[in-house]
């Protein structure tokens, strides 16, 4: 049973699914793939990486009907494809150029004040670009599972009155602090279920989730991209990203959602519930 489902106007045993696209703005292939997954497929929302090289293009292509959040970004994980802070934030740079590649490097030297200013600026820039921001979702879960950064996540969600993504497959004991309870105590809305699995390729992971879909709000994430020389030069995971677009548009994911008895929603509904109190 789900209190959140009831707040959204559905029965408590309803099976509501958000199909979200990560990494909008990361590259041209992702921009085309994400919007295709939303407009021609079953994806219901996406999150934009404001510091990434193709973010401005993503914002320019955004329609008022698109459900777009901010993918709060503090890492640049690719070997040769780099981006960095939009603010003056020396502690958020790697030793080469741009953001650190991995979370351990980030956590070793990131200054909390600079993290807050940077992430607030990312949200502000998305709004200035004309995006009606619907939610927050950290890239690589960078600020979700560290207490000193999680407070920033909560503060930004409260400040902008936005729902957030939180993993349900990581326990409070594993994280070392009750992150879901802390967010709920501040009145922040987040999906009941989200699988904390960042491996490329979505068919198997999403298929497992939908085969045993629980009641309540479940967020599933995909990373769609079109096939292009750009994306194949950028990552060894290009085939998986390209397949995510096919999965969202070829009817396979729609059939699995139908078989699970799922009702599709987006983060805009969660935002409305949070702002209604």
Whole-number pLDDT of residue 29: 98
pTM of the model: 0.96
Residue 85 has pLDDT above 70, yes or no: yes
- pLDDT tens sequence across 131-179: 999 999 999 988 998 998 999 999 999 999 999 999 999 999 999 999 9
Q: What is the pLDDT averaged over residues 23-27?
A: 98
Whole-number pLDDT of residue 2: 81
Residue 80 has pLDDT above 70, yes or no: yes
- Residues 11, 17: Cα–Cα separation, whole Å: 14
Mean residue pLDDT of the chain comes to 96
Residue 1 has pLDDT above 80, yes or no: no
Q: What is the pLDDT averaged over residues 243-268?
A: 98
Residue 119 has pLDDT above 80, yes or no: yes
- Residues 254, 248: Cα–Cα separation, whole Å: 7
Whole-number pLDDT of residue 107: 93
Of 176, 182, 175, 139, the closest CA to residue 157 belongs to 182
Whole-number pLDDT of residue 195: 87
Instruction: Of 45-49, 51-55, 124-128, 199-203, give the lowest mean pLDDT range.
Output: 199-203
- pLDDT tens sequence across 92-111: 999 888 999 999 999 999 99
């Amino acid at each position: 049973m789900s209190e959140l489902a009831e707040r959204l106007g559905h029965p408590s045993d309803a099976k509501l699914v958000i199909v979200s696209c990560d990494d909008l703005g990361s590259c041209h292939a992702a921009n085309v793939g994400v919007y295709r997954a939303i407009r021609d497929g079953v994806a219901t929302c996406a999150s934009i990486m404001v510091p990434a090289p193709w973010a401005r293009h993503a914002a320019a292509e955004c329609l008022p009907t698109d459900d777009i959040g901010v993918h709060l970004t503090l890492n640049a994980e690719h070997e040769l494809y780099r981006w960095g802070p939009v603010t003056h934030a020396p502690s958020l740079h790697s030793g080469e150029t741009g953001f650190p590649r991995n979370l351990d490097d980030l956590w070793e030297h990131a200054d909390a004040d600079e993290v807050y200013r940077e992430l607030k600026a990312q949200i502000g820039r998305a709004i200035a670009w004309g995006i009606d921001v619907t939610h927050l979702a950290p890239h690589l879960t960078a600020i979700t599972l560290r207490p000193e950064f999680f407070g920033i996540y909560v503060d930004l969600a409260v400040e902008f009155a936005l729902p957030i993504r939180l993993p349900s497959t990581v326990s409070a004991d594993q994280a070392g602090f009750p992150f879901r309870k802390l967010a709920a105590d501040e009145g922040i809305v987040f999906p009941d279920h989200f699988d904390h699995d960042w491996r490329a390729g979505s068919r198997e992971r999403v298929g497992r989730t939908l085969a045993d879909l629980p009641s309540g709000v479940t967020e599933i994430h995909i990373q769609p991209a079109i096939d292009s020389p750009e994306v194949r030069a950028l990552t060894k995971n290009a085939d998986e990203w390209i397949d995510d677009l096919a999965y969202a548009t070829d009817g396979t994911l729609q059939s699995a959602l139908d078989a699970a008895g799922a009702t599709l929603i987006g983060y805009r509904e969660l935002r409305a519930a949070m702002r209604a109190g």
